Structure formats: structure tokens, C-alpha cells
């Protein structure tokens, strides 16, 4: 009998999985609920929406994100292809015009004859799979999985312990900024009008007043039954300020490499990244926040140049649901309880747009192998994808992770390379990346699946 796969969720993981399978002649039923029910982070009704920053992180092949991207390309990533088509300048990062990116992906999915799109909310995956005669299921409903499906997952798969918190950064309208107080400059590069980042410098006095205002401002309180559990790499700016008055300036407000005038360096800097090619709006880098909306307007207008700032959207905090993969999933991301049900994307415990998309490719690859009746094989841990899966499947205390070289076994350096203190970190990354690319290529060739 011909296999058919049910994919739930047309986010980053869901579109990748659907596209991967359809490219191999597998029929997909893709069910997405945003056209009937937007979640609090969503603004548009097209697929693969980037709900916070517009960056898919580094393109540099010698970075961990770059390594992951080379592997995704090998697996035929739709997300990367459309990100490239809709990219906006952002230095080494792959940043996109989010509306254009989402539009291109949606068109590609909707024009695909092997993918049937259904706009509805899934509450019981098994019942829906039966209704549409699907033998395999991929649940890719992301960190904001709707309540009804969350209830099903908690009852049938995860038990308790299925959430933590995450936060969104505000986006400001460029026309409302006083550009005489800001300047274009990429970190460690010369000041130039063509730089990708706009910077708002602060004096010591301005910075400490700003931090004090962040600490004192009214925050949105979590609901009674929810405990705040933030992802360390994506802490709200106000929480950073609460941790210590200097914490933000050693984190997202770090001034190093952003000096306009060497003689008179800023004490701290708010970095703004273009949201679109026109540069008509900017994302406040690292400014995800729990502040109440009126408080955000008051406090963020204290930033030099922001006195009359108008925001396209303000920051917010949201639940972020994910599984304890080690406890409930197998290495191919199927559930221990229901072998035909797989999870993909952020809900498995990976963190980030690119990682979620990559996870969609990984799971689709494993489902495809099952359809071909091939045995499971683990991706090499030296590859970025193998390292991510290894992380979520072996980590004792589940905490979502981006891809980084800390997850990949280190490369041994020669004596000479170790002695070169200035360059050894760089060399280590380059060697790990070259090794990862080689091992991944050989692995995929040996598998002979794609």
C-alpha cells in the first residue's frame, strides 16, 4: 500500500518535513491551524512564520550554525532555499524579509500536488491520521502548541513537565527614530552608511537610568499554574537587568567593536537590526521583554534617538512547550508509546528557527527510511544534526539548545596549533566544521537513501 504521512503544523519543521517527503514521492496531509486560530506570537496567516527576530544566524561555514546549514542543504532544505531568495543584508548572518520568506514557502507548499493542506486545529493526532488514512504522523506544532493538542500530548506522551518561557523582542518603525543620535556600524567593522546594524549609544548616566527603569517597570505576571523557566540564551532584557546592573552591557548592550569615535567610546549600545531590505523597521537585538506594553513605550523611549519611537510590535513573553526527549522519544524521534507518531522541531527540545527546520528534515529522513523498510542509523555526532539529536537524547536535565560547538566532540589540535594562542579557537572551529562536513557527506553517501 502507498504510504501517506500526516504532518501537523506548517511551521519551520513541518514545512521542511512535508517538502522532504513530497520530493521523494510520498503523499503528505499537512494540517495547520493558524488560519482558523492565530496564537499570540503569530501575525500573518502564511506558513513558516518567524515570530521574533528575522535572523537564521550565521552563514559562516566555520561556525556551528554554518555547519548545520551545509547539512540542511545536503538534505534539500526548502527553508534555506527560500531564506536565500528573501535575504536582507546582515553581515555574516542569514537574515530575511520575514513576510517574503513566509510567502515564498507557503506558495511552494500550496503549489505542491503531493501535499494536501488542511486548515484546522488537531486535538487527537491518532483520530486525524485514521480519518486521512495516514500510516505515519509527524507532530511539528512548535513551542506554542495549542491547548487541546498539548492536553493530548500530556495525557498520552509526556506527562507533566511540558513547558517553559520564551520572549519576543520589539520592532521599531525607522521613520520614528531620531537618526542624528544613531549611527550605522557592524561590530568590529568601520562606521559606514551601508552597515547592516544601526546603533543607539548610551553614556554611563543614560545606561544606569535605563537599567533602573527596566528593573522598576511593571512586568506581565505568569499565570498561577505557570512557573517561569527561561532559556538562558534568550533571557528578557528586564530579567538581565534584575540579575545585575551591568549584566545587559556585558550581553546584548555590549559596546565593544561598536565605537563611532575611538576617543569617546559609548558605555553601552542598543543594536538595531533591519527587519526588511528597505530598512523601514528595526528589531531591537536581544530586547525580548516581560514589560507591560505601556511600560515598554515609556522605558524604550528613554533610549537616545527613541524619544518619539513608534513600534510595529512590542515585546512579549510566551509559554514554550517541549518534551523531555530522553524520557519519551526514540532516537528517530518516534514516541516510545506510539511508534508511528514522531515529533519534530522545537517541541523535541532543540532551540531556534534553523535548528527546528533541521529537525524537520531529520525526522522526515527517518520516516522515509521507515517507509522504505530500512533500519535506523544514528547520524554521526561530529555532524551538527547528529550532535543536536545526541544532545536532546542524552541530556539529563532537558533545556532547549541551539547548535553550538559545545555539543560536538572537540578536534585534537597539534602542538603547534595549541601554542598559537591567538588563533587556536578559530582553528579548532574550522577543523571541527571541516571534519563534520566530511563525515556527514560520507554518512549520507553510505546510507544511499537520498
Ligand X SMILES: Cc1cc2nc3c(=O)[nH]c(=O)nc-3n(C[C@H](O)[C@H](O)[C@H](O)COP(=O)(O)OP(=O)(O)OC[C@H]3O[C@@H](n4cnc5c(N)ncnc54)[C@H](O)[C@@H]3O)c2cc1C
The footprint of ligand X (CB under 6 A) covers 8-14, 31-34, 39, 41, 51-53, 121-122, 140-146, 149, 166, 168, 318, 320, 345-347, 352-353, 356
Task: Name the residue nearer to ligand X (CB basis): 234 or 411.
Answer: 234
Are 72 and 358 in contact, with CB atoms under 8 Å apart? yes
Task: Name the residue nearer to ligand X (CB basis): 233 or 372.
Answer: 233
∠ CA 190-195-199, nearest 5°, is 85
Which has the closest alpha carbon to 237: 260, 224, 254? 254
First to last CA, the chain: 21
> Whats the size of the chain, residue-wise?
450
Cα atoms in the Cβ-side hemisphere of radius 13 Å centred on 278: 8
Cα–Cα separations (whole angstroms), residue 397 to 234, 323, 394, 426: 18, 11, 9, 30
Cβ at position 15, least distance to ligand X in Å: 8
Cβ at position 424, least distance to ligand X in Å: 29
Task: Name the residue nearer to ligand X (CB basis): 87 or 382.
Answer: 87
Whole-number CA gyration radius for the chain: 22
Task: Please list, in sequence order, all residues whose beta carbon lies within 8 angstroms of the beta carbon of residue 159, skipping any fewer than 6 positions away.
Answer: none
Cβ at position 211, least distance to ligand X in Å: 22
Task: Name the residue nearer to ligand X (CB basis): 32 or 332.
Answer: 32
Cβ at position 88, least distance to ligand X in Å: 15
Cβ at position 261, least distance to ligand X in Å: 31
Q: Is 55 helix (H, G, I), strand (E, B) or coil?
A: strand
Task: Name the residue nearer to ligand X (CB basis): 149 or 284.
Answer: 149
- For the record, the C-alpha cell of 264 comes out as 569617546
Task: Name the residue nearer to ligand X (CB basis): 303 or 347.
Answer: 347
Buried-exposed string 212-248: b where 16+ CB fall within 10 A, e elsewhere: ebbeebebeeeeeeeeeebbeebbbbbbbbeeeeebb
Task: Name the residue nearer to ligand X (CB basis): 356 or 437.
Answer: 356
Which has the closest alpha carbon to 8: 156, 148, 112, 104? 148
Nearest-angstrom CA–CA distance, 363 and 141: 14
Q: Is 163 helix (H, G, I), strand (E, B) or coil?
A: coil
DSSP bridge partners of 319 = 165
Cβ at position 145, least distance to ligand X in Å: 5
Task: Name the residue nearer to ligand X (CB basis): 229 or 435.
Answer: 229
Cβ at position 128, least distance to ligand X in Å: 9
Residue nearest to ligand X (CB): 11
Cβ at position 418, least distance to ligand X in Å: 34
Task: Name the residue nearer to ligand X (CB basis): 223 or 421.
Answer: 223
Cβ at position 216, least distance to ligand X in Å: 24
Strands 281-284, 268-274: pairing is: antiparallel
Amino acid at each position: 500500500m502507498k504510504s501517506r504521512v500526516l504532518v501537523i503544523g506548517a511551521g519551520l519543521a513541518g514545512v521542511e518535513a512535508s517538502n522532504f517527503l513530497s520530493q521523494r514521492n510520498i503523499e503528505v496531509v499537512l494540517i495547520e491551524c493558524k488560519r482558523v486560530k492565530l496564537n499570540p506570537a503569530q501575525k500573518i496567516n502564511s506558513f513558516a512564520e518567524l515570530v521574533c527576530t528575522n535572523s537564521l544566524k550565521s552563514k559562516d561555514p566555520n561556525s556551528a550554525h554554518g555547519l548545520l546549514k551545509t547539512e540542511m542543504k545536503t538534505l534539500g532544505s526548502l527553508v534555506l532555499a527560500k531564506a536565500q531568495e528573501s535575504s536582507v543584508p546582515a553581515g555574516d548572518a542569514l537574515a530575511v524579509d520575514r513576510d517574503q520568506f513566509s510567502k515564498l514557502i507557503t506558495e511552494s507548499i500550496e503549489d505542491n500536488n503531493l501535499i494536501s493542506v488542511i486548515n484546522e486545529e488537531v486535538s487527537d493526532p491518532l483520530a486525524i491520521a485514521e480519518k486521512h488514512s495516514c500510516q505515519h504522523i509527524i507532530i511539528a506544532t512548535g513551542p506554542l502548541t495549542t491547548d487541546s493538542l498539548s492536553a493530548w500530548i500530556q495525557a498520552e506522551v509526556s506527562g507533566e513537565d511540558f513547558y517553559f518561557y520564551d520572549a519576543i523582542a520589539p520592532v521599531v518603525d525607522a521613520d520614528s527614530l531620531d537618526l542624528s543620535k544613531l549611527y550605522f556600524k557592524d561590530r568590529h567593522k568601520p562606521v559606514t552608511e551601508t552597515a547592516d546594524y544601526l546603533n543607539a549609544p548610551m553614556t554611563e548616566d543614560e545606561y544606569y537610568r535605563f537599567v533602573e527603569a527596566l528593573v522598576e517597570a511593571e512586568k506581565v505576571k505568569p499565570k498561577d499554574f505557570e512557573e517561569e523557566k527561561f532559556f538562558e540564551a534568550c533571557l528578557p532584557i528586564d530579567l538581565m537587568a534584575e540579575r545585575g546592573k551591568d549584566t545587559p552591557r556585558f550581553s546584548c548592550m555590549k559596546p565593544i567593536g561598536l565605537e563611532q569615535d575611538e576617543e569617546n567610546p559609548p558605555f553601552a549600545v542598543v543594536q538595531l537590526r533591519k527587519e526588511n531590505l528597505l530598512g523601514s523597521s528595526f528589531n531591537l537585538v536581544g530586547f525580548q521583554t516581560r514589560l507591560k506594553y505601556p511600560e515598554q513605550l515609556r522605558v524604550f523611549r528613554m533610549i537616545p534617538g527613541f524619544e518619539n519611537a513608534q513600534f510595529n510590535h512590542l515585546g512579549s513573553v510566551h509559554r514554550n512547550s517541549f518534551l523531555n526527549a530522553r524520557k519519551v522519544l526514540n532516537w528517530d524521534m518516534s514516541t516510545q508509546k506510539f511508534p508511528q507518531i514522531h515529533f519534530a522541531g522545537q517541541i523535541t527540545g532543540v532551540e531556534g528557527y534553523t535548528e527546528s527546520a533541521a529537525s524537520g528534515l531529520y525526522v522526515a529522513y527517518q520516516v522515509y527510511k521507515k517507509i522504505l523498510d530500512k533500519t535506523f542509523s544514528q547520524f554521526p555526532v561530529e555532524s551538527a544534526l547528529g550532535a543536536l539529536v545526541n544532545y536532546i537524547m542524552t541530556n539529563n536535565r532537558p533545556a532547549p539548545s541551539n547548535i553550538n560547538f559545545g555539543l560536538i566532540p572537540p578536534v585534537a589540535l597539534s602542538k603547534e596549533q595549541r601554542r598559537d594562542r591567538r588563533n587556536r579557537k578559530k582553528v579548532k572551529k574550522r577543523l571541527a566544521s571541516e571534519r563534520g562536513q566530511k563525515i556527514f557527506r560520507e554518512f549520507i553517501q553510505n546510507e544511499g537513501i537520498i
